[in-house]
Amino acid sequence: MGRLSVNLCGIEMDNPVIPASGTFGYGYEFAELYDINMLGTFSFKGTTRDPRFGNPTPRIAECTAGMINAVGLQNPGVEKVITEELPKLKQCFRKPVMANVSGFSVEDYAYTCERLDKEEQVGWFEVNVSCPNVHGGGMSFGTSPQAAAEVTKAVKAVTTKPVIMKLSPNVTDIVSIAKACEDAGADGISLINTLLGMRIDLKTKKPVIANTMGGFSGPAIFPVALRMVYQVARAVKIPVVGMGGVSCAEDVIEMMLAGAAAVEIGAQNLVDPMACREIIENLPAVMDKYHIENLSDIIGGVKNG
């Protein structure tokens, strides 16, 4: 095991860096740029039971220190992911991959996870109960402890692999929802997904995004994400995957000090496709600067007072 290695829900990873779902496709596109096997793993594009075209355009709005997106879980559906996307990925990625799953009913989540559970390449499930960009599903499951627990139980009943519940920051009490997922059998918690935001075009006086609102991400949300990771990591006994505005090696270390066992990088991949590679390459020097021997030793190591 190297200095950068961590353990996430019983699976050893070479490092804690994970490109976040929706920013890395199904992996093979980035494999044309660099060897993606250097990653800890990655969370593939949010996958639903049936194919989804996504939301109408425009779907993207720029913001100071961030962006708003309302893509709407565009994906080919679980059957094509199994028959087309995963075989392509297998040609360029030899590690277990994180399967990001979303749905519009408890049955949707269970069906999609059960289908993917049979795939050897899938190491973990990241169950998204926090997407703010779809109607009638997504975030509605992640804003209630009872609903989040119900999805957790349903998925755990049909899977053999670790289940990490991805939570929404668009709530007043993130800890109660995380604890409900833990009590329902979750193996880990992933947070945060995007904050809900919007922009208005001053010329047309209409929302920039066709969906009116969308998910706000980027460096501007890092302090909010860090605070929620800290709160949840102190409240649960299962691993936490931290994300939200992470853009450099220093941010990764800060997230881990707050309690994250692994760290996802999202919007930064859209700004710089080489971001995750650069973060991994920079980590040893930053560790030396702050006298850190092994990353696994600093998880939850923030000092109070």
Q: Distance between CA 208 and CA 217 in Å, rounded?
A: 16
Active-site residue numbers?
131
pLDDT of residue 134: 44
Instruction: Please check whether residue 247 is in contact with residue 236, taking contact to mean a CB–CB distance below 8 angstroms.
Output: no
Report the CATH fold assignment for 6-298.
TIM Barrel (3.20.20)
pLDDT of residue 140: 62
pLDDT of residue 135: 44
Per-residue pLDDT of the chain (305 residues; tens, 9 = 90+): 799 999 999 999 999 999 999 999 999 999 999 999 999 999 999 999 999 988 888 999 999 999 999 888 899 999 999 999 999 999 999 999 999 999 988 999 999 999 999 999 999 999 999 754 444 444 567 778 999 999 999 999 999 999 999 999 999 999 999 999 999 999 999 999 999 999 999 999 999 999 999 999 999 999 999 999 999 999 999 999 999 999 999 999 999 999 999 999 999 999 999 999 999 999 999 999 999 999 999 999 999 85
Strands, E assignment, the chain: 6-8, 11-13, 17-19, 60-63, 66-69, 97-101, 122-128, 163-166, 188-191, 195-197, 200-201, 206-207, 214-217, 240-242, 260-265
pLDDT of residue 133: 45
| Listed residue (25, 28, 32, 40) closest to 91, CA to CA | 28
pLDDT of residue 75: 93
Pairing of strands 214-217, 206-207: unpaired
Q: Distance between CA 181 and CA 164 in Å, rounded?
A: 9
pLDDT of residue 144: 87
Where along the chain do its domains lie? 6-298
